[in-house]
Amino acid sequence: MKILSIRQSPPGGSTLARFDLELNDHLRLYNLALRQRGEGRCWTVAPNAFHERTAAFGEQFNRAISDLALAALMELPADASTNA
C-alpha cells in the first residue's frame, strides 16, 4: 500500500489534502480526501459520485490509510500545492 500522489488543500476547511492510493497491483483509489476531525484525528473519505460516496472504509483501515497520507503530507515542502 502506498500513496501515489498527494495534493494540499487550501487552508480554511476541514480537508487537509487530496490523495491517490495504490492498495496493491490490482487496485488504486483516486481523489481521496484527508480530513481533520473535531477531536484532532485525521480521517479519509472517498469522493462523491451522483451525490453519494463511492466507497467507505472500516475504522482500522481508515486509520491506516489516514496515517499513511498524513505522513506523506508532512513530507511535502512547506510551499507545495501540487503532486508529491
- Confirm whether 24 is domain-assigned: yes
- Confirm whether 27 is domain-assigned: yes
Domain count, the chain: 1
- Confirm whether 43 is domain-assigned: yes
Share of the chain above pLDDT 70, in %: 93
- Confirm whether 38 is domain-assigned: yes
6: containing domain: 2-75
The CATH number covering residue 19 comes to 3.30.1120
12-38 pLDDT per residue, tens: 889 999 999 999 999 999 999 999 987
- Confirm whether 20 is domain-assigned: yes
For 62-84, give the DSSP string: HHHHHHHHHHHHHHS-TT--S--
Alpha carbon 82 to its chain's center: 14
- Confirm whether 84 is domain-assigned: no
pTM of the model: 0.85
